[in-house]
Structure 1
Amino acid sequence: MKNVLVLFKRDLRVQDNPALALAASRDGAALPVFVAEPEAWAQPDASARQWRFVAESLEGLRADLAALGAPLIVRRGDMMAVLGGLCATHDVGEIISIEETGNLWSYGRDRRLAAWARGAGVIWTEVPQLGVQRRLVNRDGWARDRQAVMRQAQVPVPEGLRGVSEEPGSIPDARDLALAFDPCPGRQAGGRDGGLATLASFLTARGQEYRRAMSSPLDGAAACSRLSPHLAWGTLSSREVLHGMAARRAEVKGTRDGWLGSLRSFEARVAWRDHFMQKLEDQPAMEIRCLHSAYEDLRPNVPDATRLSAWEKGETGIPFVDACMRSLIATGWINFRMRAMLAAVASYHLWLDWRRTGPHLARMFTDYEPGIHWPQMQMQAGTTGMNTIRIYNPVKQGLDHDPTGTFTRTWCPELREVPDACLQTPWAWAETGSPAARRLGRRYPAPIVDVTQAARAARDRAFAVRRGDAFHREASEIVTKHASRKDSGAGRHFVNDRERTRRSKAQTPSAQLDLGL
């Protein structure tokens, strides 16, 4: 009788975990394992803030598995070397895990793992993940199938597991993985208990204003669900979140206090989360190649180092952009509209290639989800060939979403003396030559680009690519493969942001970089 190894990746929970349930149904003993791979954490999209969230989540997972009879085994090292040793020591005949839609590195690692398992005579069983389908031909019926999965009952927690005698091992520190120093004082803590508390507070109190407040960088920090890191690392399953939301919707049915509209909007964004993850699952190279080939040489491959550095540090001299970036650096989170603006300003106003700016944003997001991040980076950079080009005006965004200036002044205290009328355009105030304006010039940088002129030049360059039959033929093929269909239950909630290509009835959602839920 062979034993079974349960490999945890981005599913750090015992609840609604089909891989764990399947392992529990086998006759052999179970080895729950998580491998902290130094090579994975050396990738340019990885950061210490992400690992600390994972490490805290592993602590909770270890306790939950111990209560079932099989504590979590944690090892640091190469995946195949670690699994090979454990399989040989404990007579493991099968490895079970949930399918992963990760970055291109993890895709390559899984291909190597599959080859290793075949050579070692070990069965590797991958259980489908919720909301994403492998080897999908096109999107016809995808939304219907996804909804059917989400309506199914959650997989129950096993009554118990028969473990093995094995040293559990310590959970590495960020320094053990050679991760760079990454202070993030406002980072959300990991762990399922925190995820459950966050879900409960959203469904019973904070979420009431979600629909109204989610676009505000100030109000959105409380009104948004803040579940995205828990969904990214799997301390909660999306199905369990949707079931909790359905129960709450039944409670508030018939009321007119804003709850129903907010819950519907949130449900739509959970659906769009899977929609974007499916894109990367279908085309893993989306992380490194423009979806539409016509955009490959649109921006310089070698970025302007001064512009890139200013954008990464929040020192562009464009107040709302800098405030959003500094907030993200300090907290690991910012609401979806501001994420989209940061990506778009980098791509258009600063004319930086999305492959050079995407890694920085990925590292800053505690809730980094590759399947959402890379399709959205391309969407905001306008390289998909099927989305409307959006060039955000960062001055207008500041006026619209921070009308009191509270958010901007919080994160850019150098601007505290700037009058409200000039807060988002301090260069105009500097021209007055007053003593206070002169002091500003010593504390806060001049804008790195002329916002209006840079946007105009970017628009001309970007739209020039979209001409000719060859462009539209390739765009049509991309729509067939990647665009959501009219049967999507989420689409009806995005009427104002819906875009249509002239060759398809497909729908595309509003800008939601990593969604930020």
Structure 2
Amino acid sequence: MNTKPQVNVVWLKRDLRLHDNEAIFNALKAGKQVLLLYSFEPLLMEDSHYSERHWNFIRESLVDLNDELQHYNSKVLVVQSDIIAAINQLQSDFRISDIYSHQETGILVTYERDKNFKRFCKNNLINWHENINNGVIRGLKDRESWNEKVDAFYAIEPLPFQPKDNQLVSVKVINQIEHNLNIPSLTTPKFSAFQKGGRSVGKKYLKSFFSERYGNYMLNISKPELARTSCSRISPYIAWGNLSVREVYHEAYHLKETSKHKKALEAFMSRLRWQTHFIQKFEMEHTMEEASVNKGFHRLKKSISKTYQTAWETGNTGYPLVDACMRCLNETGYLNFRMRALVVSFFTHNLWQPWQEATTHLSQMFLDFEPGIHFPQLQMQAGETGTNMLRIYNPVKNSLEHDPEASFIKKWVPELELLDTPFIHQPYLMTEMDQQFCNFKLGKDYPKPIVDLETSRKKASDTLWKLRNDKTVLEESKRILRKHTLKKRF
């Protein structure tokens, strides 16, 4: 007779919250004791898309979860292990018949891991329950009725976290089993330029946005400096699951009833739906991680320049707004959407580099790295979908329009801050006399432009517009529209 205690395991991944977490809700509803598990998996910690800033955000999120779980005399069991090895070890202490998690729309390594885990569960007579995450639906062939399904998901009230007394495995029991497991430290740097992880911090950002900041949301959404306070700044908390899209949507919806800034809230809410749309697109076409979704663009060949790429990555291209954006991103993990589009446009069009060469640096730098947003957006900004408008951003025009006083540039490219504002935007226009007067040497104190904007823009535009008329590109464009949009779009 098996005398081991029986538990339901909740495998936490990118859903680091207790509230509106369908996996936790369903595990508790089943009535058995519940063990919350998070595994720092070597296959992800060694993957090139991730960096220490991500793992620290997750560590902070887990500490925050454990603070909340103190009220229930429990905590998350945090291990450093492959998930299969972790479950195997737990089976020596518990009878595990059911495991709950969300459906992860991740990178290829997590897709392969999940297939292996599914086989493992089947071989061990374990029921693995995967729940919908943020309205993304697995197994769809097209978008017919998708809007209705997502509407229904969003309409559900956020799920409460209401464990029964002693339903969560106790701290005492978890401490005992930790002796047989590889337990990582959750210590993180005390001071950091990055947003701190955790639901409690995410809720503070959300509260300040809805109580003070959202009124200027649309006015400043494209401005590199002002967007840092006028935008919600909750993207990392959604990406790592401290907040659910649904609960944020509900708060915005209820606020809209009495708000003086209804249009700002409507724009914000539309972007929450936009997030679900893009992750759904990636869920349905996961090959986007490595290749352009439109197969007609596979024939596009670009020469790789490590010199160009290093200059772009480090913020030394000679174009101040591009450089300010890249330095800011590297140090803080955040850029507003327009500036993200601009730096990708510059990389893929002006530097004429393959978008694949930008994927890992950007994913490592974006604190809010979300695969389902990352890869579709890279391809869209690179002009390789065949269905979206080709946009080649002019960094000088954007600098003059969205940072007219050059305050953002001065902050992140301080070697330019003493120049007159027109020269801060375009230092390469300085004559030798200008440079002598300012005690500034172009090419020494700040790089000369590594490419010519107009020449490189024309090359990219001519090449991509010509390719858009290619037979394969046109056929693929129709296929993409059939698969990812409603019938009225094609």
Given residue 29 of structure 1, which amino acid in structure 2 is its aligned partner?
Q
Aligned to 1:163: 169
Tell me, in whole angstroms, the C-alpha distance in 2 between the residues paired with 1:455 and 1:62: 51
Residue correspondence of structure 1 range 52-71 to structure 2 within 5 A: 52-71=56-75
Q: How many residues align?
A: 476
Q: Using a 3 Å threshold, how does the CA distance of structure 1 residues 427 and 315 change in structure 2: closer, same or farther? A: same
Aligned to 2:143: 139
Check conservation: 1:45, 1:362, Cα contact below 8 A.
yes
Aligned to 1:514: none
Name whichever of 217-226 and 99-108 sits farther off.
Answer: 99-108
Check conservation: 2:428, 2:442, Cα contact below 8 A.
no
Residue correspondence of structure 1 range 19-30 to structure 2 within 5 A: 19-30=23-34
Aligned to 1:172: 185
Residue correspondence of structure 1 range 341-352 to structure 2 within 5 A: 341-352=342-353
Match among 195, 199, 213 for residue 188 of structure 1: 195
Aligned to 1:499: none
Tell me, in whole angstroms, the C-alpha distance in 2 between the residues paired with 1:238 and 1:81: 32
Given residue 186 of structure 1, which amino acid in structure 2 is its aligned partner?
A
Check conservation: 1:184, 1:330, Cα contact below 8 A.
no
Matched, 1:231 2:238: yes
Aligned to 1:93: 97
Matched, 1:200 2:204: no
Tell me, in whole angstroms, the C-alpha distance in 2 between the residues paired with 1:213 and 1:361: 23
Shift of 1:329: 1.0
Name whichever of 203-212 and 115-124 sits farther off.
Answer: 115-124
SS in 2 for 1:423: helix
SS in 1 for 2:419: coil
Q: Using a 3 Å threshold, how does the CA distance of structure 1 residues 13 and 351 change in structure 2: closer, same or farther? A: same
Residue correspondence of structure 1 range 51-450 to structure 2 within 5 A: 51-160=55-164, 161-163=167-169, 165-167=173-175, 170-172=183-185, 185-252=192-259, 255=260, 259-300=261-302, 303-430=304-431, 432=433, 434-435=435-436, 436=438, 438-450=440-452
Q: Give ranges in structure 1 of 5+ residues lacking alignment.
A: 176-181, 487-503, 507-517
Tell me, in whole angstroms, the C-alpha distance in 1 between the residues paired with 2:184 and 2:209: 30
Tell me, in whole angstroms, the C-alpha distance in 2 between the residues paired with 1:323 and 1:71: 42
TM-score for the superposition, normalised by structure 2: 0.93
Tell me, in whole angstroms, the C-alpha distance in 2 between the residues paired with 1:426 and 1:72: 53
Q: Using a 3 Å threshold, how does the CA distance of structure 1 residues 84 and 323 change in structure 2: closer, same or farther? A: same
Tell me, in whole angstroms, the C-alpha distance in 2 between the residues paired with 1:173 and 1:443: 41
Name whichever of 283-292 and 58-67 sits farther off.
Answer: 58-67
Report the identity percentage.
Answer: 34
Aligned to 2:456: 454
Name whichever of 462-471 and 124-133 sits farther off.
Answer: 462-471
Name whichever of 121-130 and 265-274 sits farther off.
Answer: 121-130
Aligned to 1:512: none
TM-score for the superposition, normalised by structure 1: 0.88
Q: Using a 3 Å threshold, how does the CA distance of structure 1 residues 461 and 85 change in structure 2: closer, same or farther? A: same
Name whichever of 373-382 and 155-164 sits farther off.
Answer: 155-164
For the aligned residues, what is the CA RMSD? Answer: 2.0
Check conservation: 2:435, 2:442, Cα contact below 8 A.
no
SS in 1 for 2:265: helix
Check conservation: 1:8, 1:33, Cα contact below 8 A.
yes
SS in 1 for 2:276: helix
Tell me, in whole angstroms, the C-alpha distance in 2 between the residues paired with 1:199 and 1:10: 19
Q: Using a 3 Å threshold, how does the CA distance of structure 1 residues 395 and 437 change in structure 2: closer, same or farther? A: farther
Given residue 316 of structure 2, which amino acid in structure 1 is its aligned partner?
E
Tell me, in whole angstroms, the C-alpha distance in 1 between the residues paired with 2:358 and 2:81: 29
Q: Give ranges in structure 2 of 5+ residues lacking alignment.
A: none
Name whichever of 89-98 and 462-471 sits farther off.
Answer: 462-471
Shift of 1:368: 0.7
Q: Using a 3 Å threshold, how does the CA distance of structure 1 residues 60 and 438 change in structure 2: closer, same or farther? A: closer
Tell me, in whole angstroms, the C-alpha distance in 2 between the residues paired with 1:118 and 1:204: 49
SS in 2 for 1:296: helix
Tell me, in whole angstroms, the C-alpha distance in 2 between the residues paired with 1:479 and 1:428: 44
